[in-house]
Structure 1
Amino acid sequence: MRTALRRAGVAVVTSLLAATGLAAPTLAHAEDTATPATGTVTGVVRADATGRPVGGVCVTLFALPDPQLWNGLWGGCTDASGTFSADVPTGRYTARFTDDAGRFAEEFYDGRITLGGATTFAVRANRSTSLNASLAPGATLTGRAVDAASGSPLAGVCASALRGWAGDYVTAVSTCTGADGRWRLTGLPAGRFALAFNLRGTSYTTWAFGASSQADATLIGVGVGRTRTVRDVALASAGTVTGRVTDAAGQPVANAWVDLTGRFPGRAGAGEGPLAVETDADGRFTKTGVEPGTYRPLVYAADYEAFAPEWAGDADSLASATPVTVTSGGQATVDFQVAPGGHLTVAVIEADGRPTTRTFIGFVRLGSGEYIGDFDIYNSSMCTSNALPGGSFVIQLQDPATGQNYWYDGATSQDDATPVTLGRGESKTITFHLP
């Protein structure tokens, strides 16, 4: 079976471009560009144990000099006779063989376990390059995921395996748990693995057997083609955070954003991050799938202007916020009553006393160091920040052309910067003198 060249991930990239409103690259017309020279890569994939050809094994080709797992060329899958064939541009490559059914372990050419260690081969114009593989049977790890508090089976838990204490994720077929809490990883190579678990609808990872990270995980070994059942893995059930945002008159604030991390997103955009949630028309929000722990939520306006950012407990900083504790399977409630923000207008003056004509990116940080706003000096020597809470602030300018940083007022480091104080709802203009 011959496969025309297709770059893995093109559909994903196109979707991302559409989602962000960016135009996808336009393909050149055939008459505008020279057709690159191509050759053919063909081969047969067999099973180690029997020597028989196997169908349904898929081949990905990686071009040198910088092969990357995310940037492969789709080479097609083997047919019933174990054969594959793909036309690709000339050059040097290596290859990966994977089985979506989990019958065989992932393998790189020629019998290697990592892309970095794979053997390379040349593809020449109008010639056929033979690329055969013999795959080892996949190993299986299986077990049960249970609720850490009750010991009951957990549904919707998916397992992943990582190589050793510092290696990458291993390609395997993961069967997530049903009502019985049983999970399964098939198609693993022989080796020792750290096991990571994710509960559907959540954004956090639980490492098996109480580990806090891959680096301190209990490694589970399994041999070629073997099946091993591991002891129960206890996971804390996700919790929920709910609440309501109102204004000073007690009216609901719709389309506000609450971020459980307490971090202001700034240029990343409102709603950025897995722990952000938007209020509805009645000012209410509910964030599910929250990892048990302690949080200091922040509320901010979608346009960064409608009201001042505020932390839980009517606080003006992350450090002074009231902690919100989320328990396994529990629900925590936090309400906010927001108020108009203050603003800083910054006028930038060069060392000779003239208003600057340069471009700067401005950053506003709380005295405790947390980023809380920004502004741009562009085609003007003055600019105004987004809405700010009350407090003491450090103002920084960065020259995007050189990367040089400056701090108010004439300081050369953040520690030496002169703080700027704003009362709640206060607006102030300062003059920033460049050295």
Structure 2
Amino acid sequence: GVRGEGLRAKALLGGRDELLVAAKAALRGTVRDPEGAPIAGAQVCASPSSATLLRSETREPTCATTEADGTYRIDGLFPVEHRVDASAPTYIPKQFTEGEGPRKRRTVRLLAGAERAGVDLVLRPGGVEIRGVVRDLSGGVLEGALVSSGGGSARSDEDGRFALWVEPGTAYVHARADGYASNGDRGAAPGHAFELFLTPESVLIGKVVDASSGAPVAGVSVTSDRWGARWNWGTGPDAVTDAGGHFRIDGLEPGTYKPTAYDDEHYGIAAAQVSLGLGQTSAPVTVEVHPALTVAGTIVPEDGEACERGSVSLTDEASKRSFSASTEGDGAVLLRGVLPGTYDVDVDCDGYVPEERYEPIAVEEATSGLEWSVAVGQAILGQVVTAKGDAAPSMRVRATMKVDAADPRARQTSSWGVETEEDGSFAIYGLKPATYELGISGERPGPDAPVEVEVPKGRDVEGLKVELPGSGSVTGRVVDERGAPVGDVVVNLRSKDRGGGMFFFGGRSSSSARTTDDGEFTIEHVRPGSYRAEASQGWTRTLRSPGTSDDDVQGVELSVSEDEATQVEIRVEAKGAEIRGKVVDADGGPVSDAFISATRESDSATKSAGSNVRASRWGNWDLQPVLTDADGGFTIDNLTVGTYTVHARRKGGGEGFAEGVATESEAVITIESTGSLSGTVTASAGPPEEFTVTLRERESAVWRSDTFFRTGGAFSFDELSAGTYELTVEAGEGSAKVEESLGDGEERDDVKIELVGRVTVRGRLVDLDSGEPISGMRVHIGPSSGGMFFGGGGGERKEVSDANGEFEVANAPSGEVQLFISTQNWGGTNDYSGASMMRTLAAKPATQDIGEITLVKKRLTDQEKSGDLGFKLRDAAPDEEWAKRELKVAFVRPGGPAAAAGLKAGDVITSVNGHDVTGEATYKYWALTRAKPGEAVTFGLASGSSVKVVLGPAL
């Protein structure tokens, strides 16, 4: 690349002021059906996409209705990229695309004062109508809300009602309205009455000033979080400061925010997080900005074309900073607010092959004129057909590169997936010569095993035909013990014959469906075999059969045959119970803005103390919460009979729990006064310029993280409940971890944390049984409390194990750390699974060798299912020392394999097949115990005895 004089954003991409006053653009086209007949009355909407305009200026589309001849025209558009969607009654919505391969575009580029013609769309029949209502949290209806799903959009009427035509399956419906935060609902299409509740908006206001002079800074972009400035993926900022440096960000949900300001010459983060309550406008927040730079360049494909969809990421390993931006127009990339440093460069361009390594960039001044070349590479072109030879459209095809044993650190070129066209064809571009595995998923089952494809050097693979297996269908109902339908729950088919993950997208899956409000469901294309059908609410809450416990096997068994329909009924516990109560503050006064959720307490023998509170915090994120009334009262209805933990939280801060609350009873929940923790972070050379503090309270599962920039080492967290907090600090200069206690309403400002220098870690991955080296696995090292993992190695990829199994991770934290070992080719076939383990690293020497790490080779292929052991282990307690962790048997299923072998609840497992699984070696347990039905696993026990368990059929 070439270093230049510097380049302002408006010179490269067009500044916001110029865009606002520029002559508007227009587009026009025709909407037709597959036979070429025009579709009258179709709605066509153009949605702007720009990194320059505010998000509020791009969040609503401009729409038009087609005439009798199917033509339309949309005027008054910003001269930026636009997504164009069309929808019409009885048809499936469609997004406009043009071009093929690497040059396929999903947006239309508009020019000032110009009209773009030929934006034509073809709609397929088969759409279904969905209906619903938009309400505020109090239950009142909202008129004029913009409701959208799958490319179609509508406005709610005076009764809050709306109707949309969408693709059959599971639809996600999104709604937004002025004065409210946006929200969504997911449900079966057709068959579900959608109900979307919008929360009154919270507002963040403040001022951006120069850190040196205190003078206001005008024209600076502001985001509500710290990520938007550094990871720009084509969306604009939340606000731009006015002449007085002021900004206002609306449409926010109650919660915690960290305003960040940036432009070509400035960068800064607010000194502390801002907690916003329901409908609250913050006190003015001051954001100090410091000098920063721009880095501008272009991704240049070797074939002379423009890089339509690409990105450039800069990472400074010394400071642990990264900046990313996507391409805008002709492959141009602009990274704004970049801080001085030496950055490794990572380049991506859809359909092209990046270089193995790009030269690092030393950013000391505004830099422009950089060029990053990408190669054309090879392609796989083929067609996916059904077992009957028909085209299989809308299937997702993923290409995963197999690791080259001769060069395991070579850059991978894999594809997350392309969608097959109407004729089943697909094309995956930008591949290196290598062996690839094709994985195919969607509404039909994929091939029985990944399709292996050899891509030779200098030649594309053409004419590949992939035939999907035959399938049957499953239809059924979910009902309660009284026979009443149970609607809007997810039915999953869990194979008893096959392993492997479950890939689905766009609401289409060959193994799951959502029930209608009448409790009915259909899964059209299911791989023949044996299954267990389970119903769940949300992602994690399996619905129990009447009279069973959480340790019992749930669901019903069924068998699916090719070209046959299987019917099934899943019977679950009845709903209809309720819990009433009141939320009060520490003085006994009512709390009128608390969000309430109830989580059924598990009766599983595996649960550790405090698990009810931890589950209630994270187990209901996908459910609509209840808001307390003016007197602090609440009612949670439609519950199954049982005992619950009720969680009350003010999203701006403060919470309370009531455990052991039975249905049809009343609970009083007290939100105690919150406190704060603040202090300073120091390093040997003084306070770090930038650092991240992760705060964790293990007993209650509180987790917060924040980044502090040029605060002189000062940090603070407010709105904290009482507890014992673990604070982990990560900075370029080093890391540290301390533990601090906090009482109800206590405000502590005396926390002092001293960073310990980072280290370079070397080691070797070997097979547990043979001792042979394991190549091509990636090693990450991060703090034991979780958070960011730092790969190290820069562009040399030394964190990937070489042919001798050796790896090196630079700039790793010391102290208690977590090693996370993963495959490079996620989704592909590997001999080893990933592993996570704890270690303690000394602060010195600066470079240290941790020796050999053993991994367990898989005993099963990815398509094989592990047999049933017939027992469960107790969950680890949150404060349990990892080096002393015990694998204690909590539950043995009567009549199961473990019971037959004599294993008992309370037994402590110390070895599996002769391999130690105590303390830090517990990470081996999972891989060692996966085996085929009929195979034996020997468990050594702390009592000195051993038990051989012959695995039974998968459940």
Is 1:156 the counterpart of 2:634? The answer is no
Give the AA of the match of 1:61.
S
Within 1, Cα distance between the matches of 2:415 and 2:893?
Answer: 53
Give the AA of the match of 2:345.
A
Partner of residue 580, structure 2: none
**Match of 1:2, SS?**
helix
| 1:228 to partner: Cα distance | 2.4
Which of 227, 231, 234 is equivalent to 1:7? Answer: 231
Cα deviation digits, residues 246-270 of structure 1 (max 9, x gap):
344444344455332399xxxxxxx
1:234-249 paired onto structure 2 within 5 Å: 234-236=467-469, 239-249=472-482
Partner of residue 122, structure 1: 362
Partner of residue 325, structure 2: 74
4+ residue runs over 6 A deviation: 301-307, 340-347, 373-382, 392-395, 418-421
Normalised to the residue count of structure 1, the TM-score between the two structures is 0.58
Cα deviation digits, residues 125-148 of structure 1 (max 9, x gap):
x33265323332242221222223
| 1:295 to partner: Cα distance | 1.2
Q: Report the CA distance shift for 1:346/1:218 in structure 2 as closer, same or farther (over 3 A).
A: closer
| 1:163 to partner: Cα distance | 1.6
| 1:243 to partner: Cα distance | 0.8
| 1:296 to partner: Cα distance | 0.7
Within 1, Cα distance between the matches of 2:329 and 2:603?
Answer: 65
Partner of residue 142, structure 1: 381
Q: Report the CA distance shift for 1:359/1:345 in structure 2 as closer, same or farther (over 3 A).
A: closer
Cα deviation digits, residues 196-228 of structure 1 (max 9, x gap):
2434446x654xxx5x35xxx52321334x432
Within 2, Cα distance between the matches of 1:237 and 1:42?
Answer: 52
Is 1:95 the counterpart of 2:345? The answer is yes
Contact 1:42 1:84 in 2 (8 A): yes
Contact 2:438 2:452 in 1 (8 A): no
Within 2, Cα distance between the matches of 1:92 and 1:119?
Answer: 10
Within 2, Cα distance between the matches of 1:223 and 1:33?
Answer: 53
Is 1:185 the counterpart of 2:428? The answer is yes
Partner of residue 286, structure 1: 522
Cα deviation digits, residues 295-329 of structure 1 (max 9, x gap):
11124678979963689xxx9525xx753233456
**Match of 2:389, SS?**
coil
Q: Report the CA distance shift for 1:98/1:281 in structure 2 as closer, same or farther (over 3 A).
A: closer
Which of 393, 401, 407 is equivalent to 2:879? Answer: 401
Where does structure 2 lack aligned partners over 5 or more consecutive residues?
1-10, 14-51, 53-228, 239-251, 262-267, 269-284, 405-410, 497-507, 576-599, 614-641, 648-655, 664-869, 895-905, 907-955
Contact 2:312 2:326 in 1 (8 A): yes
Contact 1:262 1:298 in 2 (8 A): no
Which of 353, 357, 372 is equivalent to 1:106? Answer: 353
Partner of residue 65, structure 1: 317
Q: Report the CA distance shift for 1:66/1:243 in structure 2 as closer, same or farther (over 3 A).
A: farther
| 1:42 to partner: Cα distance | 3.4
Within 2, Cα distance between the matches of 1:338 and 1:173?
Answer: 37
Q: Report the CA distance shift for 1:178/1:335 in structure 2 as closer, same or farther (over 3 A).
A: same
Cα deviation digits, residues 39-84 of structure 1 (max 9, x gap):
33234554546xx68564744123232999xx861153464xx765
Is 1:221 the counterpart of 2:455? The answer is yes
Cα deviation digits, residues 384-435 of structure 1 (max 9, x gap):
899xxxxx9979475323368xxxxxxx7543x57799xxxxxxxxxx9xxx
**Match of 2:494, SS?**
coil
Where does structure 1 lack aligned partners over 5 or more consecutive residues?
15-19, 264-272, 348-357, 364-372, 387-391, 405-411, 422-431
Partner of residue 427, structure 1: none
**Match of 1:323, SS?**
strand
Contact 1:346 1:382 in 2 (8 A): no
Give the AA of the match of 2:456.
V
Q: Report the CA distance shift for 1:419/1:33 in structure 2 as closer, same or farther (over 3 A).
A: same
Cα deviation digits, residues 89-147 of structure 1 (max 9, x gap):
323333344445x4xx231xxx32xxxx54422212x3326532333224222122222
| 1:86 to partner: Cα distance | 3.9
Give the AA of the match of 1:189.
L
Q: Report the CA distance shift for 1:334/1:155 in structure 2 as closer, same or farther (over 3 A).
A: same
Which of 323, 333, 341 is equivalent to 2:567? Answer: 333
Within 2, Cα distance between the matches of 1:414 and 1:397?
Answer: 9
Cα deviation digits, residues 277-308 of structure 1 (max 9, x gap):
44334332223454444211124678979963
Contact 1:362 1:377 in 2 (8 A): no
Contact 1:310 1:338 in 2 (8 A): no
Give the AA of the match of 1:332.
T
Give the AA of the match of 1:178.
E
Within 2, Cα distance between the matches of 1:62 and 1:141?
Answer: 30
Within 1, Cα distance between the matches of 2:339 and 2:484?
Answer: 63
Contact 2:394 2:419 in 1 (8 A): no
Within 1, Cα distance between the matches of 2:301 and 2:413?
Answer: 24
Q: Report the CA distance shift for 1:332/1:54 in structure 2 as closer, same or farther (over 3 A).
A: same
**Match of 2:475, SS?**
strand
Within 2, Cα distance between the matches of 1:54 and 1:145?
Answer: 29
Give me the CA root mean square deviation. 5.4
- When structure 1 is superposed on structure 2, of 193-202 and 138-147 the one drifting more is 193-202
Give the AA of the match of 2:426.
W
Within 2, Cα distance between the matches of 1:170 and 1:195?
Answer: 9
1:254-265 paired onto structure 2 within 5 Å: 254-255=487-488, 257-261=490-494
**Match of 1:178, SS?**
coil
Within 2, Cα distance between the matches of 1:306 and 1:164?
Answer: 40
Percentage of matched positions with identical amino acids: 17
Partner of residue 857, structure 2: none
| 1:170 to partner: Cα distance | 2.1
Contact 1:63 1:91 in 2 (8 A): no
Within 1, Cα distance between the matches of 2:413 and 2:563?
Answer: 28
Within 1, Cα distance between the matches of 2:536 and 2:431?
Answer: 48
Cα deviation digits, residues 334-386 of structure 1 (max 9, x gap):
11344579998799xxxxxxxxxx952269xxxxxxxxx99879999984899
- When structure 1 is superposed on structure 2, of 280-289 and 59-68 the one drifting more is 59-68
Normalised to the residue count of structure 2, the TM-score between the two structures is 0.30
Within 1, Cα distance between the matches of 2:425 and 2:325?
Answer: 33
Within 1, Cα distance between the matches of 2:537 and 2:442?
Answer: 29
Contact 1:344 1:385 in 2 (8 A): no
Is 1:40 the counterpart of 2:276? The answer is no
Within 2, Cα distance between the matches of 1:32 and 1:359?
Answer: 43
The higher relative CO (CA closer than 8 Å, separation ≥ 6) is in: 1
Within 2, Cα distance between the matches of 1:39 and 1:299?
Answer: 53
Is 1:295 the counterpart of 2:531? The answer is yes
Contact 1:362 1:397 in 2 (8 A): no
Q: Report the CA distance shift for 1:305/1:294 in structure 2 as closer, same or farther (over 3 A).
A: closer
